[in-house]
Structure 1
Amino acid sequence: MMSPTDSDRETEQAEHLQGNVREQTKLQLMRALVENQDPSSKDVDDLTLRRFLRARDLDVEKGSAMFLKYMKWRRTFVPNGFISSSEIPNEIAQNKMFLQGFDKKGQPIGVVLGARHFQNKGGLDEFKRFVVYILDKLCERTTGEKKFVVIGDLKGWGYANTDLRAYLGALSILQDYYPERLGKMFVVHAPYIFMAVWKIVYPFIDKNTRKKIVFVEDAKLKSTLLEEIDESQLPETYGGQLPLVPIQLS
């Protein structure tokens, strides 16, 4: 005779399997739809299509529309298939983005130092190219359905670093063209004055992304990060063992 625990486990497994079959069916429908409208979609793997489908709660039409928009954008914005460091010299010079180890789930970690960001002569277009450069670098380090983790460090951030157009531009690229890629963002050392900017940006963040953003108290910084990142993979600046490595050198 099965125990209640065994019964619950079997029910859970059956529901999980049923969910997988349902998703796979929708994925096949989505592939047929996008390949019909954009034949180059045949070269895109199921994992990528699945991210767009999940981002739209398994709605085939919405997921397909989102994906086709991405394909059109990618051809226009990244015609060479990648962004080179030579296309973003002013952003690279600010030395504000780093790639660091992996968390306990095997997800790559990025660290951004917000106080080093200033508007520069490259303008918004160069900044957007820099965002794509960063996201592509992080995605290259992911495997399977794994996502990436970002530590957004705002130590020393002030009004001189405020750049709403850039913040909203980065958010739009992440949400529209890299769905289901962000695993979690830890916001650390956030000064009180940052919250005024946060109130403006917050309404533009979709509900799925909001769940992944965690503000960490200074007093609990190391302990919070160590819950998900081993000390050997944590940057020295947060009590770990890894030196910061600029993204262009990774």
Structure 2
Amino acid sequence: MSEITDGKQVSYADLKDLKERMKLISEADPNQYHNELSLKRYLKAFNTVDAAFQAILKTNKWRNEYQVATLNEDNIIVKKHLENNKARVLRHRDMIGRPVIYIPARNHNVNDRSIDELTKFIVYCLEEACKKCFEEVVDNLCIVFDLKDFGLNCMDYQMIKNLIWLLSRHYPERLGVCLVLNAPGLFSGCWAVIKGWLDENTSSKVVFVSTEEELCKYLIPDILPQDM
């Protein structure tokens, strides 16, 4: 038997097998954070029990080495980027209840940033958004890139690569939709590059929104910040 989630099947036998393997991790590390829904996401993303289990081990190792637990509002790096309005996890959700990460491109300058610090801030945003998920109902996120006042100095290919890597390796199946608002014509060349890095499934989740009517299919425009 299997359970169909987001068009993908998760075998009950595979889930049972992965749970048994996870018991060994839980005994060694009682604080490991994977629950049954997390295991299903890894199975959907990595297809086999062996691949999912190895991916979980890598994520656990990364979380410890990267000190993910220290990335909170009191962290000096996080605090700086919040004050500079680099991104924000919104109080309100999208139309189907997904937490929303809002990223205003105009507040970003590729020539004036530390990629290591920025990546830590991205992880903070992903962590905060994931905590807001109603996991039993919807366990994925809405990421909004607002390209109003976008210039080529705002285009940070390495940051986008890092975000794609994080979502694929350590936050699998967490991206529900990525909305791109107010994209100017010059962004078309940037998108051609970025699209080449995405698999077909992820690429299909990227939606370009050019009107308020289109935006209302995904979220209420009034929830987007006016102070960033």
Same-fold status (TM-score > 0.5): yes
User: Shift of residue 35 of structure 1?
Assistant: 4.2
**C-alpha distance in 2, partners of 1:129/1:116?**
17
1:10-159 equivalent positions in 2, closer than 5 A: 18-20=1-3, 23-36=11-24, 39-40=28-29, 44-57=34-47, 59-78=48-67, 80=69, 82-84=71-73, 85-98=75-88, 99-119=90-110, 123-145=114-136, 146=138, 147-159=140-152
Match of 1:56, as an amino acid?
F
Q: Does the aligned pair in 2 maintain the 1:90–1:122 contact within 8 Å?
A: no
**TM-score, with structure 2 as normaliser:** 0.83
**C-alpha distance in 2, partners of 1:150/1:47?**
21
CA RMSD of aligned residues (A): 2.6
Match of 2:125, as an amino acid?
I
Structure having the higher strand fraction is: 2
User: Shift of residue 19 of structure 1?
Assistant: 2.0
- Unaligned segments of structure 1, at least 5 residues: 1-17
Q: Does the aligned pair in 1 maintain the 2:71–2:78 contact within 8 Å?
A: no
- 2:201 paired residue number: 208
CA displacement 1:90-146 (0-9 Å, x = unmatched):
433431323141123222222211121113665111011010111011111101241
SS of 2:2's partner is helix
2:162 to 158, 163, 169: 169
User: Shift of residue 87 of structure 1?
Assistant: 2.5
CA displacement 1:28-71 (0-9 Å, x = unmatched):
212333444673276531111111111123x1111112111111
Q: Does the aligned pair in 2 maintain the 1:154–1:191 contact within 8 Å?
A: yes
Structure having the higher helix fraction is: 1
- Cα separation, partners in 2 of 1:246 and 1:62, compared to 1, 3 Å: farther
Q: Does the aligned pair in 2 maintain the 1:100–1:245 contact within 8 Å?
A: no
User: Shift of residue 81 of structure 1?
Assistant: 5.0
1:222 to 179, 189, 212: 212
- Unaligned segments of structure 2, at least 5 residues: 5-9
Identity %: 25
**TM-score, with structure 1 as normaliser:** 0.76
Question: How many residues are treated as equivalent by the alignment?
Answer: 217
- Whichever of the two has the greater Rg, that structure is 1
